[in-house]
């Protein structure tokens, strides 16, 4: 059942139109091929018909009518909630295919240093490996929303404020650092041109002034993704600016009730640019304050198969899942993540539409 269909039924219930709401519900259940659900829906509809009949005959008091009426409303709401929990699949699950080495390395770092208020990571690899998808998966895991396919009402583990920045850097080094901070302050809804000499500012200025962080606590996270493409990578300036950012800009005293910051420097290069790719790889381990996550590479067909098995409600029949691998992925052993995620999103959308 789509969200629009649920909203339509809920609106009718809110307006007291129980008969119309039940009719809409039964109409949808008839298309869902679920015999048990259909039996429950018809029983609820019959219960309401009997209630109305008793009212016309004058054999039920108004108080008892209202009580029974509200119980039927609650029963339908429970069915709607259960249907949402058991069927709909959120689009963010397209981020959960493969990338286990990167996820495990990230989790190991944050668990090894639970008291660190600021941590730094490199994401690097070809530009077709969808760095943003890796970042969003990390955010999803921190929030605990990667498990909501099991129960859509599962509460979030914490709040995570995710900030994505496309950075343009220029030489010389001071200009490079200035542009970096301008982008960061602007992303946190702070006007950098009103801050005076921006290189004198520190991360605590963002904590104190940004309206995006006011509702966060010490158990929450701020995840910042800073994209560096081939035009903004300078062999000397980029690592040096990153070092300055970590050792000076983020070198602040934090209070226990303030959130943890996770900065991700995403360095992308074209697959065929071997010179730039090697230069980036050579610089990854220069700074002990930053953790380079394993390089992003192609996705194995076996990992796509694993994903289809995990979300098997998209296609319960294993024979049909094998067809998907062959028809949508040509049975090839490896694929670029940008292509994989596009296809997975199409599969999720088709599945959700089919529920409607």
25-39, 57-71, 123-137, 196-210: range with lowest mean pLDDT: 25-39
Identify the band that residue 15 occupies on the pLDDT scale cut at 50, 70 and 90: confident
Sign, Cα dihedral of 259, 184, 279, 129: positive
The string of pLDDT tens digits covering residues 107-148 is 999 999 999 999 999 999 999 999 999 999 999 999 998 887
The CATH number corresponding to 98-292 among 3.40.50, 3.30.1050, 2.20.25, 3.30.160 equals 3.40.50
Q: Determine the average pLDDT of the residues in 255-263.
A: 94
- Which of 75-104 are b and which e, b meaning 16 or more Cβ less than 10 Å from the residue's Cβ? bbeebbeebeeebbbeebbbbbbbbeebbe
- Note the pLDDT tens digit of each residue in 261-275: 999 999 999 988 899
Comparison of pLDDT for 229 and 29, the residue scoring more? 229
Is the four-CA dihedral 88, 94, 98, 103 of positive or negative sign? negative
Residue 353 scores a pLDDT above 70:
yes
Angle, alpha carbons 250-261-218 (nearest 5°): 115
Classified as helix, coil or strand, 84 is: helix
CA distance 116 to 221: 12
| Across 49-53, 127-131, 243-247, 334-338, least confident range | 49-53
What's the mean pLDDT when you consider all of the chain?
A: 88
Angle at 241 between CA 240 and CA 244, to 5 degrees: 90
Q: Is residue 13 scored above 90 in pLDDT?
A: no
Structural domain boundaries in the chain: 3-86, 98-292, 299-355
Instruction: Say whether pLDDT at 84 is over 60.
Output: no
For the whole prediction, is pTM greater than 0.85?
Answer: no
Q: Say what percent of the chain tops pLDDT 70.
A: 95
CA distance 211 to 189: 7
Model pLDDT, residue 82: 67
């Amino acid at each position: 059942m789509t969200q629009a269909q649920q909203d339509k039924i809920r609106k009718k219930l809110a307006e007291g139109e129980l008969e119309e709401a039940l009719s809409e519900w039964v109409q949808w259940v008839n298309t869902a091929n679920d015999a048990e659900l259909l039996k429950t829906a018809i029983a609820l509809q019959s219960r309401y018909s009997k209630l109305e009949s008793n009212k016309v005959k004058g054999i039920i008091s108004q108080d008892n009518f209202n009580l029974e009426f509200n119980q039927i409303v609650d029963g339908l709401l429970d069915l709607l909630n259960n249907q949402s929990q058991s069927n709909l699949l959120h689009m963010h699950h397209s981020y959960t295919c493969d990338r286990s080495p990167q996820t495990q390395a990230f989790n190991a770092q944050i668990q090894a240093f639970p008291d660190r208020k600021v941590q730094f990571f490199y994401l690097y690899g070809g530009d077709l490996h969808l760095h943003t998808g890796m970042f969003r998966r990390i955010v999803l895991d921190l929030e605990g929303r990667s498990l909501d396919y099991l129960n859509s009402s599962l509460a979030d583990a914490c709040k995570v404020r995710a900030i994505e920045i496309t950075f343009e850097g220029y030489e010389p080094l001071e200009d490079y650092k200035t542009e970096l901070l301008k982008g960061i302050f602007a992303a946190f809804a702070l006007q950098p041109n009103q801050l005076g000499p921006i290189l004198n500012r520190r991360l605590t200025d963002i904590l104190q002034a940004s309206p995006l962080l006011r509702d966060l606590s010490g158990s929450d996270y701020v995840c910042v993704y800073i994209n560096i493409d081939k035009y903004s990578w300078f062999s000397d300036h980029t690592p040096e600016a990153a070092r300055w950012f970590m050792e000076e800009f983020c070198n602040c005293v934090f209070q226990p009730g303030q959130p943890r910051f996770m900065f991700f420097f995403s360095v992308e290069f074209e697959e065929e640019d071997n010179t730039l790719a090697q230069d980036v790889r050579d610089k990854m381990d220069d700074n002990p304050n930053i953790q380079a996550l394993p390089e992003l590479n192609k996705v194995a067909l076996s990992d796509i198969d694993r994903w289809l098995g995990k979300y098997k409600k998209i296609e319960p029949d294993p024979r049909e899942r094998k067809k998907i691998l062959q028809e949508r992925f040509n049975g090839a052993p490896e694929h670029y993540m940008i292509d994989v995620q596009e296809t997975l999103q199409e599969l999720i959308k088709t599945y959700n539409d089919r529920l409607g």
